[in-house]
Structure 1
Amino acid sequence: MPPQQKFIDAHRRLERDTPTLPESVETPLPTPVFPGDRVNGNRVEDTPCERRHYHLDGLVWTGSIPFFPDEASAQIRQWEHVHGLRQAFVAQVDLLDPDIETALDYYVGMERITGVRQLMAWDQVQLPCRPGSINLLVDPLWRKRLELLKRYDFRFGIEVLAYQLPNIVSVVRACPEIGFTIEPMGWPLNGDGENYARWKRGLADLADCDNVRVDVCALERVFGVRWSFELASTWITAAIETIGVSRCMFASHMTASEAASGLAAMLARYGRLTQQYSESEADSLFYRVADRWFRPE
């Protein structure tokens, strides 16, 4: 990563909600348990000391934000004080929650909250990976509730697996007024030729939708904690070339990604990936797309 390159980390975790288990596989998913479910989330005390070494300009935090005005405001002020950077927040929601309208009205009044997100990963092959989950993308009630987001200026982060790309394409096309953040780059599931081609077709369909941005993040969850650059770069480059450098953004998933490589190694790998791009294109991936999309302050 060039020393003068500004970077907005477009996906940092707010929660510490899972136990630590640092070992995982080096092959693409599926695995019996998602690797990222077994490493630590983020904490306020995990101050990004890497700011001393890189031009880290902003953070986009994702996770659960307290649903109590005084507590949430105090929490956000604490995060801002600790890190001293421009920040934006993406609040975890469930569109099927009976109180979702109250929640959205609440979050829209909060400073720095510029997006909401929902975890939608549903594995049609290895259902035990997500016990009790369903493919919400084809659920009529969920799709009706999605219409609520048209009232707000939120980006909607949506974590889906490669199997679900055809479903998310139909959702995105039906809601051009909503800006969708696809995490993490449509989650490729394994490296055989058939699945790779299916994943690329899904991304190509998404590329026709102007209301989509793709988050290149959480690579330790997609490719395993001990992920290899050679394996991941094929998929990352394909995602960037398919969607376009003006609509993709680099991010970490810290501190979960610390178990995989740490920020320094991750940025070095992103830097290697951008050697084929112009200075302006690299700036889009590291900084400009996230800055315009999430609007950190």
Structure 2
Amino acid sequence: AARHAVVATVHVEAGWAADDCVGETRWLETLDKSQGILTRYVVHVPLARRQAPALIEAQAAFHRVVGVRDILSWDPDPARRFAARDGIMDDPAWRSGLKLLARHGLSFDLMVFPRQLADAARLAAAFPDQQFVLNHCGSPIDRDVDGMRKWRDGLRLLAQHDNVAVKISDLVAYDHDWTLDSLRPVVLHCIDCFGTKRAMFGSDFPVAGLHASFDEVYDSFKAIASGLSADEQAALFFGNAKRIYRLDDVSSTSLLPA
């Protein structure tokens, strides 16, 4: 990562035990910050639980906490699902937890599969004051023609809501035999739907390291974005993440990728 001018990082919750989600944040606080890593945290809160209000309060008390993720990705195939059940976005108890985030100024990292993008669009409409960040481009997991069509249509629907941004990240998890040519249409569709003011590049490391190196990921992003203006590239690589994840104390001599 040394040659990519990384000036800050945002840690996104990594599957710590739900009963002790604040424990992950406490652990993060013990780690060395001298190299500019772990600048902000997106933490876990199980929003449907009755303890959610107290957990949100506890997490928000850490000044590096800027957002919450409660993974919603569900698929009929048990081997592919991350969430315990389908329909969580419509659960009144879960929505009650989500409603508390905005008052603390916390964004919500939205991790869903393409089959759930229409539900996510309805959720965004129901919570217009909540900032959502769609993870991994909406996880285009089905790579056949029909699967990619459903992903494209769902992404376009979700992007109609101005309170949703997209994180272009971990595409190699859904395209193990990736090439620059296979990644390009996915990245460009995200930018076409959300524009350069509501999209950001993200590494998703170390998870993405299963299928690509950090250099390969960011060299690919740079190649795909090379035709955009300097301001557009600056927004995708730095500016939008700085705004959404409240990196106000982070500066860079250049917002363009090195």
Question: Structure 1 length normalisation: TM-score?
Answer: 0.75
Aligned to 1:119: 71
For the Cα contact (< 8 Å) 2:7–2:36, is it kept in 1? no
Calculate the aligned-residue CA RMSD, in Å: 2.1
Residue 102 of structure 2: aligned partner: 150
Q: Deviations over 1:136-155 (max 9, x none)?
A: 12333322332222322001
Contact 2:21 2:44 in 1 (8 A): no
Q: How does 1:40-51 map onto structure 2 within 5 Å?
A: 50-51=1-2
Q: Is the 1:57–1:86 contact (alpha carbons within 8 Å) kept by the matching residues of 2?
A: no
Measured at CA, do residues 84 and 148 of structure 1 come closer, stay the same or move farther in structure 2, by a change above 3 Å?
closer
Q: Which has the higher strand share?
A: 1
Name the count of aligned residue pairs: 242
Match of 1:98 among 44, 50, 55: 50
**What residue in structure 2 maps to residue 137 of structure 1?**
89
Of 77, 80, 93, the match for 2:33: 80
Q: Write the deviation string for residues 105-149 of structure 1: whole angstroms up to 9, x where unpaired.
A: 11111111111111110114x244338432312333322332222
| Percent identical residues | 23
Aligned-partner Cα distance in 1 for 2:36–2:96: 39
Alignment of 1:183-198 (within 5 A): 183-198=135-150
- 1:129 alignment partner, SS class: coil
Superposition map of 1:1-297 within 5 A: 50-51=1-2, 53-63=3-13, 64=16, 67=22, 72=25, 75-81=28-34, 83-85=35-37, 87-124=39-76, 126-130=77-81, 132-224=84-176, 226-296=177-247, 297=249
Structure ranking higher on relative contact order (CA contacts 8 Å, 6+ apart): 1
Q: Kindly indicate whether the alpha-carbon contact (under 8 Å) linking 1:116 and 1:156 is maintained by their aligned counterparts in 2.
A: yes
Tell me which moved more, 59-68 or 274-283. Answer: 59-68
SS in 2 for 1:110: coil
Q: Secondary structure at the match of 1:189?
A: coil
Q: Distance in 2 between matches of 1:276 and 1:205?
A: 26
Gaps of 5+ in 1: 1-49
